[in-house]
Amino acid sequence: MAGGKLSARQKMINLMYLVFISMIAMTTSKEILSAFSLFNKKFENANELASNANSTLLKNLSQQAEEKPADFGVAFNNAQRVSTISNEFFTYLESQKSMILTKGNYAEKFKEEGGLPAEEMDKGDALDEHWFTGDRLTKAGQAFVDRINEYKADINEVLGDDVAYNPAKEILERRFSTAEVINKDGKKQSWLDYNFQGFPAVASYTKLTAMQNDIKATEANLYNVFLGNTVDVTTSLKNYTAIVIPDKNAFFAGEKFTGSVVLGKYANVTPTKLKVGDTDLDMNREGAVDSTGAARIEFTVGNVGEHDIKGQFTFLEKGEELPIDFNGKYVVVPRPNSATISADKMNVVYRGVENPMTISFAGIADNKVQASGTGLKPVGGAGKYVMNPGTGSEVTINVTGTLDDGSRVSDRKTFRIKDIPAPTGMISRQTGVVKLPKRNVEIGTVGAKLEDFVFDLPIETTSFKINVPGQRTVVVNGTKMNAQAKSIISRARTGDNITIFDIKARIQGNSSYRLKNVSPIIIEVTN
């Protein structure tokens, strides 16, 4: 436009034209900058209103938690955690907004005017230098992105794995996504670069205020979810029941269970007809349909073995009958006539200890089974007993079961009673004939244990005797050598056999039972 040979008048006209275009551009820019300021103010007002509304929701949750702690106690605790996490992130974003004002030298003007000096905030150089270096993020820029991701992670941790919160998690991810963005040129660009680099300071400031608004919206959404104010309640898995459908209704011992587990609903709809095989059932009989809409079927079963069961529901739909077939299997087993009695440790019971036993009757509920016997008493748990046998060599347990029709069946079993075997003496955890230096004998601990016994009984040693060749026998109380014992041990020579015998031991907590004699220990003295 200014090239070539132009007259002075034409040059003046061209210059005025350029000035005019620049003035238009400046005017448009100022209007846009002012518009950002207006948007920022609207977001701030919306955030204030949202804060008040969220406080009300939180109070409602608090009241519900007080009135119905079982239903809303956990929800209120989660809401409090969401509130704390959100307030901390909101405050962090406020500090980033203050950083933009400070680094751009807008803070004083902001304070004076009580609002953003929007028309002066047309540059973004200060923020660009703070968050970007070349084509990479600075530590401060990366920290900003990390803080957004931390907020999402903290909220997701509160929500956990409950599928009811999946929609809220999806909204959270969309609002605070920091994933790479495809720009207008079709190239990938980092989220921070795409949204903030090269923008006027007033635009970046407003974006942070909008992000604060997203925090408030997230809080409101989650509080409503915790309160149960969900729009699509019917899709909640809480309205479904896990239903086990076995391939047949009885299985024999050792047989593999086969079946299906499905999520379904009980349709509370009364059928007009119900047929099992070729027999129509009376729909007016008592208990024909329960409160969930489940129709009860009843018939006399056949012989022992596996049988098919087939039938048909009939419902009315839009004025027409709708038949629905059903089929399954059931197994008939013999009527129980003998009890199952087993000792949990062995097929004998031991005197001096509590022998755990499980007693049941095949096909009869545990609360309808009674067992009796000398020394037998029930303990916690269905069918669980302990047996403390007394004198004699045998004990008999009698079992009675009551069937569903009121008839009774009984059985009995006899167990042999055995004494606890003789403990084995030990020193330094070694038994029988051992080789030890004198020093090890002096500091060794003498004890007793039951080797290869089915019960792990705690045995405590009260005293023992020790003999060294050529020395007098010393009696020791407890498990450690006394001064006299150490004195005679010091006189032992290499190759001497030191004998520890007459070891007195007892069962901890059962001093009334007398254990058999503890076997002695022979120690060959080594260098």
Q: DSSP assignment, residue 256?
A: P
Least confident segment among 130-134, 281-285, 315-319: 315-319
Specify whether 435 is located in the same domain as 482. yes
Mean pLDDT of the chain, nearest integer: 82
For residue 267, is it left (φ>0), alpha (ψ between -120 and 50) or beta?
A: beta
Distance (Å, whole) CA 79 – CA 229: 14
CB 419 within 8 A of CB 516: yes
> What SS3 string covers 155-168?
HHHHHCCCHHHHHH
pLDDT of res. 241 = 60
Q: What share of the chain has pLDDT > 70, as a percent?
A: 81
> 516 and 394 in one domain?
no
Could you report the per-residue pLDDT of 258-304, keeping only the tens digit for each?
Answer: 776 666 666 656 677 878 778 887 877 777 777 666 777 777 776 66
Does residue 21 have a pLDDT over 50? no
By the 8 A CB rule, do 515 and 460 touch?
no
pLDDT tens per residue across span 90-110: 999 999 999 999 998 988 888
**Residues 114, 144 within the same domain:** yes
pLDDT of residue 235: 41
Look at residue 250 in the predicted model and tell me its pLDDT.
63
What's phi and psi for 520, nearest 5 deg? -75, 170
Reading the block at residue 114, the tokens are 């009580």
Query: In this structure, is residue 104 part of a structural domain?
Result: yes
Q: Does 2 map to a domain?
A: no
Residue type, 333: V
Answer with the one of 332, 355, 372 that is the final residue of a domain.
332
Q: Which residues of 233-250 are buried (b: 16+ CB within 10 A; e: fewer)?
A: eeeeeeeeeeeeeeebee
Same-domain status, 409 and 431: no
Whether residue 443 is found in the same domain as residue 369: no
Helix (H, G, I), strand (E, B), or coil: what is residue 456?
A: coil
pLDDT at 423: 94
Domain encompassing residue 157 = 18-233
Kindly state the tokens that stand for 265. 């609903």
| DSSP tally for the chain: helices H, then strands E | 10, 26
Q: Is residue 107 part of a domain?
A: yes
* Residue 295 DSSP one-character state: B
Among 307, 332, 357, the domain-final residue is: 332
Instruction: Return the pLDDT at 309.
Output: 79
Residues 168 and 88 in one domain: yes
Of 35-39, 129-133, 186-190, 241-245, the range with the lowest mean pLDDT is 241-245
Select the more confidently predicted residue: 312 or 181. Answer: 181
Higher pLDDT, 284 or 247: 284
In this prediction, residue 140 has a pLDDT band, given cuts at 50, 70 and 90, of very high
Pairing of strands 474-477, 408-418: unpaired
Do 349 and 308 have their domain in common?
no
> What is the C-alpha separation between 210 and 110, in angstroms, rounded?
19
C-alpha to C-alpha distance for 334 and 301, rounded to whole angstroms: 12
Say whether both 414 and 511 belong to one domain: no
Please, which residues bridge with residue 304 across strands?
none
44 in the same domain as 176: yes
Answer yes or no: is 7 within a domain: no
407 or 416, which is more confident: 416
Q: Encode pLDDT of 212-238 as tens digits.
A: 999 999 999 999 888 875 433 434 455
Which CATH number goes with the domain that contains 482? 2.60.40
Query: pTM for the whole thing?
Result: 0.44
The pair of three-digit structure tokens given for residue 31, joined into one six-digit string: 């209007």
Number of independent structural domains in the chain: 4
Q: Is residue 4 part of a domain?
A: no
Split at pLDDT 50, 70, 90, the class of 254 is low
Of residues 230, 253, 247, the one with CA closest to residue 308 = 247
**Residues contacting 277, CB < 8 A, separation 6+:** 299, 309, 310, 311
Q: Are residues 248 and 158 in the same domain?
A: no
Same domain, yes or no: 47 and 150: yes
State whether the Cα torsion 497-498-500-502 is positive or negative.
positive
* Closest to 212 (Cα-Cα) out of 350, 34, 88: 88
The alpha carbon of 118 is separated from its chain's Cα centroid by a whole number of angstroms, namely 52
pLDDT in tens, 179-212: 999 888 888 899 999 999 888 888 899 999 999 9
Judge whether 257 lies within some domain: yes
Q: Is residue 214 part of a domain?
A: yes
Least confident residue range of 7-16, 69-78, 131-140, 425-434: 7-16
Specify the CATH number for the domain of residue 411. 2.60.40.10
